[in-house]
Amino acid sequence: TWSSVPLAPPDSIFKLTAAYKADPFPQKVNLGVGAYRDDDSKPWVLPVVKKATELLLNDPNLDHEYLPITGLPEFTSAAARLILGADSPAIAEGRVTSVQTISGTGANHLGALFLSRFYEYGPAGKQVYLSDPTWINHFAIFRNVQIEPLTYPYYDPKTIGLAYDAFLETLSSAPSRSVFLLHACAHNPTGVDPTKEQWGKIADVILEKGHYAFFDCAYQGFASGDLEGDAWAVREFVKRGVPLLVCQSFAKNAGLYGERVGALHVVATTTEAANRIKSQLSVLARSEISNPPAHGARLVSLILNDEKLFGEWKQDIQTMAGRIIAMRKELHRLLTEELKTPGNWDHIVNQIGMFRCVFSFLFVLV
């Protein structure tokens, strides 16, 4: 049996991590996995997460019962407010459906599965447009649910910036009602985000063509230190009435990588539609995971729902973002002032997040 199963290659990023761990060289640096490290190259547990963990462990009512199928309600509602805005009319009008997922990957999967089952695709069939390049896992996630990934131009190596005109051109020429995956902020792997003005134009064309925006938000606050600013594009699209969903991860911004805390938010046009969507997401989640893991969601719920802890989290986010930005500045200084390396290195300080610090090294990441 199983003689016909071909051997698959190991995942290159996780293979690199294993090789890194095994390497005894004292000055080793792992530029593979997109995980934050402190000044000693060590993983960093956010002080606010340590505090929330204490609170949780000292809670006499803590048990290990199942969560509801769609997750911890206090977590999903607070997570929706975080990305869509506490004053979001869509939330106030009951048009947002939120489901807890296995971090951002699970949100992408559930969103893709939902589209595969229920999106009214045109004659071209089940397709999604991904940015070229994108987080490599997007391709497999959509293929797994029989959606064919296509790409749209995103990164222009000549300018080390956004291939804005070509991107707009693909948005305009794609068949109406196409699905476009957009990185909400801190694009992986280029670190290149559209400006507000460019986002506005992208939204215009998406609306004109009746496209669907599939937002992936894995880095809110993490790269810039600004939770609100990083949610700007998503909120602007909601304001303009672009049909959309958002995949949300707390892996990076709360340093909860292994806890798998995330959510999928679908913004509908009516409460009634939101209820129908929730009922189907619930059926899908039930068959796949029955119900999501509790621990990480409880931690994030404590942090998001307590003003003091929320303030402390924002400070921890500043610490991470501040270090990322300082590292970029220092690398830029070393290359230009100290080493006098030929060429222009300004993109190192202009790009956002952990990715693509130096053109074509520090490449694609978890």
Shortest Å distance, C-beta 289 to ligand PMP: 14
- Told to judge if 345 belongs to the known catalytic residues of this protein, a careful annotator would answer no
Shortest Å distance, C-beta 313 to ligand PMP: 17
The three-point CA angle 331-226-345 to 5° equals 20
- Told to judge if 216 belongs to the known catalytic residues of this protein, a careful annotator would answer yes
DSSP type of residue 280? H
Site string for ligand PMP, 15-54 (x = CB under 6 A): -------------------x--------------------
d(CA 326, CA 7): 43
Nearer to ligand PMP, 101 or 345 (CB): 101
Map residue 1 onto helix, strand or coil: coil
Shortest Å distance, C-beta 273 to ligand PMP: 26
Return the residues of window 99-128 that contact ligand PMP according to CB under 6 A: 103-105, 108
Nearer to ligand PMP, 112 or 203 (CB): 112
- Can you read off the two tokens belonging to residue 218? 């894995």
Return the residues of window 133-172 that contact ligand PMP according to CB under 6 A: 135
d(CA 44, CA 17): 17
Nearer to ligand PMP, 100 or 103 (CB): 103
- Give helix then strand counts, H and E, for the chain: 14, 9
Strands in the chain per DSSP E: 96-102, 127-132, 148-153, 155-156, 161-162, 179-183, 212-217, 244-249, 261-267
Q: Which residues contact 115 (CB under 8 A, 6 or more apart)?
A: 126, 128, 145, 147, 179, 212, 214
| Contact flag: residue 237 with ligand PMP (CB under 6 A) | no
- Can you read off the two tokens belonging to residue 325? 């930005």
Instruction: Give me the catalytic one of 51, 193, 230, 252.
Output: 252
Residues 202 and 194: beta-carbon distance below 8 Å = yes
Residues 168 and 202: beta-carbon distance below 8 Å = yes
| Contact flag: residue 216 with ligand PMP (CB under 6 A) | yes
Return the residues of window 283-312 that contact ligand PMP according to CB under 6 A: none
Nearer to ligand PMP, 274 or 303 (CB): 303
- Told to judge if 135 belongs to the known catalytic residues of this protein, a careful annotator would answer yes
Instruction: Give me the catalytic one of 51, 135, 230, 345.
Output: 135
Nearer to ligand PMP, 151 or 336 (CB): 151
| Contact flag: residue 188 with ligand PMP (CB under 6 A) | yes
Map residue 18 onto helix, strand or coil: helix
Site string for ligand PMP, 244-283 (x = CB under 6 A): -----x-x-----x----x---------------------
Nearer to ligand PMP, 72 or 274 (CB): 72
- What is the phi/psi pair of residue 71, to 5°? 100, -175
Active site residues: 135, 216, 252
Footprint on this chain of ligand PMP (rule: CB under 6 A): 34, 103-105, 108, 135, 183, 188, 216, 218, 249, 251, 257, 262, 365-366
